[in-house]
Amino acid sequence: MPSVEALWLALREDADRPALKAGDAVVTCGALVNAIARRRAVLDETGASRVALALDNGIEWAAWDLALLFSDRVCVPVPGFFSPAQQCHVLESAGVDTCIGADPPPGAAGFERQSPGVWTRGVAQAAALPEGTRKITYTSGTTGTPKGVCLDAKALLAVAGSVHQASAALDIRHHLCVLPLATLLENVAGLYAPLLKGACVDLRPMQEIGLKGASGFDVGAFLRVLHESRPHSVILLPQLLLALVAAAEAGHRPPASLRFIAVGGARVAPSLLHRADSLELPVYEGYGLSECASVACLNTPQARRIGTVGRPLPHVELRVADDGEIHVRGARMLGYVGEAPHGDEWLGTGDLGKVENGYLTLIGRRKSLFITAYGRNVNPEWVEAELVLQAPIAQAWLHGEARAENVAVLVPRGADVGDAEIQAAVDRVNERLPDYARVHRWQRAREPFTPANGFATPNGRLRRDALAATHFPHEASA
């Protein structure tokens, strides 16, 4: 598997090859090596140990991240879509002593400016970290307080190497970062993997890409950037893929340069993948989680099956426990910040799945399943993924624990969407579902599900307990 040294050699081998670009600015491998050296000198001078990156996507983010990776310091990316309180939690729980950014996150205490964009502070007592920790990535989870996942360089580069190998036949030379680099998926698969394979990484501010905060997306801006950049590869979340497919169906096709559209981060409805397939979009679904250092399974040009998340990548072993939970062995976390190191070689993912002919099919989150009054197990994520493919429905939450009927709480795609349109959409979905999983009743949501009101995580996953407490308070307190 590739190592940090292999990534360093990949940058040094061809000094004139473009490594990063942002608009008209192009950074060659040689210039990037020099930029990394300058930033390492700054880190040495300030005595930095645990360093937060509070930057938007761009060349600066990549250069600082690589400087930290090559200097054996701890990098703590701070997602811009986290709330100020969550960002402060990241800094405090990780024991951050240095912050890279125009300013520290609002409310962060004790930082003093050392030089433009570099802030330091003393930390009296930092939480102990597992030995070898080089990156702490914070997962939003389904509660309000993010958890810090500690990873070593070996795990990060193992995943990057596998992703590089999986797409090698496509000769990808140009990757466009669509997701924030503060998310591990883009950091590993969208920065480290392309640099390992000799590709150039196009870095644009999130506003330019069309991403606004945790849930806003301007598909028009995204399409403009796609046609301007003409990348070979991008990484998308399911909602971004849905927007791209809908735009292509309306005649706004993405550039023909695309060879690999990876999609992951949440369940993808097979019907959406079939729609993409009919448009000849090169979509490859994958699966992973922060605790596994990002990608664990991936469909590839050589091995692709719609409805599955692909086969395990070379660095991963996978098994399904008797209760259906997916366990992985290989690249994985060292532990959580503030907790004992993870000692078991097998990691329980909390996801349910099945393996057929080597391909993994996801069933849902173990904690998300509910049992109806008739004793039927229902995976709501499956139904919700089908509902939001309907044009009138923007968001959906299915509730049925101990009920004789399943109730969907739906967010219409616009204020002008009438009840008849929503009912017709629900009827279309119900035609494809078994009786026990159907939407027997539905109601309009009081407001959209967002991180601001506590009904969703920053990456779009529903906070089901909060939704139940608000929409069905008597059941939640029973």
Closest among 75, 57, 109 to 4, alpha carbons compared: 75
In the chain, where does the domain assigned CATH 3.40.50.12780 lie? 4-151, 154-187+210-365
Q: Which two tokens stand for residue 457?
A: 């995580």
Each residue's pLDDT tens digit, 281-329:
999 999 999 999 999 999 999 999 999 999 999 999 999 999 899 999 9
pLDDT for the residue numbered 176? 98
pLDDT at 465: 86
- Which of 7-11, 177-181, 205-209, 455-459 shows the lowest per-residue confidence on average (mean pLDDT)? 455-459
**Alpha-carbon distances, residue 327 vs 136, 209, 342, 415 (angstroms):** 22, 35, 14, 43
What span, in angstroms and rounded, lies between the C-alpha atoms of 140 and 143? 7
The CATH topology of domain 370-476 is GMP Synthetase; Chain A, domain 3 (3.30.300)
pLDDT at 38: 97
pLDDT tens readout for residues 392-446: 999 999 998 878 889 999 999 988 999 999 999 999 999 988 888 899 999 999 8
Kindly report, residue by residue over 11-57, the tens digit of the pLDDT.
998 899 999 999 889 999 999 999 999 999 999 999 999 999 999 99
Residues carrying CATH 3.30.300.30, the chain: 370-476
pLDDT of residue 215: 53
Question: Which one, of 152, 154, 156, 147, lies nearest residue 130 by Cα?
Answer: 152
User: What is the predicted pLDDT for the residue at 270?
Assistant: 86
Max Cα distance, the chain (Å)? 66
Please give the Cα distance from 364 to 455 (Å, whole number).
19
pLDDT at 478 over 60: no
Tell me which of 215 and 390 has the higher pLDDT: 390
**Mean pLDDT of the residues in the chain:** 91
CATH of 154-187+210-365, one of 3.40.30.10, 3.30.2390.10, 1.10.3720.10, 3.40.50.12780: 3.40.50.12780
Q: Tell me how far apart the alpha carbons of residues 265 and 286 are, in angstroms, rounded to a whole number.
A: 8
Tell whether the model's pLDDT for residue 365 goes beyond 80. no
CATH class, domain 4-151, is alpha beta
Residue 87 pLDDT exceeds 80: yes
Tokens standing for residue 401:
């624990």
